[in-house]
Structure 1
C-alpha cells in the first residue's frame, strides 16, 4: 500500500513546475499585456535612467531577473524586455544581458517541461514505430540544425522553441548552446531598436517593432536560416546523389578451370 500511495504523489510532483509555469503564463497574459509596452517605458524613462546612473549593477541584476521570469513563465513582453535592455544599457551590454537572461529563462522552461510531460512523451517516442519512429530518427540526425532554425526563424514563437525540444527529447547540451547562439541575431536587432528609442521619444513619436521586417534586417536573418538548413538538405540528398554502390565484375581466378576447355 505504501508504494501505491507514493507513486501518484511522485507523478504529480513531477508535473508541478510545468503546471505552475502554465498557470502563471495564463494569468500574466491576462493582466500584464497593458503594462509591458512603449508607453510604460516612456512614462518611467526618467526614473529608470536616474536609477541606472546611481546603481548600474543593481539595475542590471533586477533587469536580468525580470527577463528570466518573463521567459520562464512565457509572459508577454519578451521583445519589449529586449528593447528595454538596449534602452538602459546600450548595444553591447544590453545584448549580453538579453542573451544571457533569455537563455537562462529558456533553460528553466525546458527543464520544467522535460521533467514533466517531456519525460513521458520521450519514452513513448522511443517505443513508437512507423512514421513516428522515422520522424524521431530524422530529428535526432538533424538535431542541431533544427534547433538553430527554431531560434533563427522570426515566425516561431519563443515559448514554442523552448517547449517543443523538451517534449521530443532533444539533448540538453545541444538545446543550451543552440539557444545561446541562435538568439543572438534577434537579440542584436531588438537591442538596437532600444538604443534608438530615446531619440524617438524626444521627437514625440511612437516607436514600434516593425523594423524587424525591414529587408535590410530580415534579410541577414533569413540568410542565417538558409545556412542552418543547408546541412539538412545535404544529408537528405546525399544518398540519392551517390546511389547504391555497384561492385566491379570479378575476373576469373587463374587457378579456376576454363569452361571452354572443359567443353
Structure 2
C-alpha cells in the first residue's frame, strides 16, 4: 500500500484541483492580468518560482490547464523567459508523475514488459530518447498520455528528462509567443487562437524535427548495421 500512497495523493489532489479550477479560464486571466503583471513586476523572482511550482503541479496532476498556463507565462514573463519557466515546470512535473506511476505499478509494469520481445526491449533501451523526443515534438499526442506511455515502455528517468525538456520546447515557445502579445485581445474580451500550433507553418517544421530525431534509429537499422 505504501507504493500506492503517492499515486493516491496525486489522484486526490488532481480531482480537487480539477473541481476547484473549473471556473478559471481565459476570462479569469483577462480580468486579473493587470494585477498579475503588477505583482510580477514587484516580485519577479518569487512570481517566477510560483509559476514554476504551479506548472509542476499541473503536469504532475495531469490537469487540462497546461495551455492556459503556457500562454499566461508568455504574458507575464515574455516569450523567452515564459517558455523557459514552462519547460522547467512541465519537465519536473512529468518526471514526478513518471516516478510515482512506475513505483505504484512496478510489478504490473515488469510483467507487461516481460511480454515484449527481447529485440524490441533492446531497441527501446537503445533508442528510447529518439522515440520519446519524436512523440514530444509532435503536438498531436496529449502530454499525460506520453508520460504514461514512457512509464509502460520503461524509459529511464535520465532519458525521460532531456527528451521531455527538448521535445516540449518548440510548442512551448509558440504558445509563449502568443501569450506575449495576447494582452490586448484579452482586454477586449477575446481569447487567443491556439489552433495556430496546427497550422502548416508551425506543424510541418515540428513534424520535420520529429523526423530528424528518428534519424539515429534509422541509421542503426540500416542494412549491415550491428544489432
C-alpha distance in 1 between matches for 2:8 and 2:107:
15
TM-score, normalisation: structure 2: 0.90
Preserved contact between residue 121 and residue 168 of structure 1 (Cα < 8 Å): no
Q: Is 1:17 the equivalent of 2:2?
A: no
- Does 1 or 2 have the higher relative contact order (CA < 8 Å, sep 6+)? 2
Structure 2 equivalent of residue 219 of structure 1: 204
How far residue 49 of structure 1 moved from its aligned partner, in angstroms, is 1.2
Kept in 2, the 8 Å contact 1:18–1:113? The answer is yes
Bigger radius of gyration among the two: 1
The answer as to 2:27 corresponding to 1:39 is: yes
Where do 1:98-247 residues align within 5 Å?
Answer: 98-117=86-105, 119-125=106-112, 127-128=114-115, 132-202=117-187, 204-236=189-221, 238-239=222-223, 242=224
Q: Which runs of 5+ in 2 are unaligned?
A: none
Aligned-residue CA RMSD (Å): 2.1
Identify the match of residue 72 of structure 2 among 84, 87, 91.
84
Q: Within 5 Å, give how 1:243-254 maps onto structure 2.
A: none
Q: TM-score, length-normalised on structure 1?
A: 0.78
Kept in 2, the 8 Å contact 1:146–1:229? The answer is yes
Separation in 2 of the partners of 1:232 and 1:29?
A: 39
Q: How many residues are treated as equivalent by the alignment?
A: 226
Structure 1 runs not aligned, ≥5 long? 1-11, 244-263
CA distance in 2, matches of 1:125, 1:76: 28
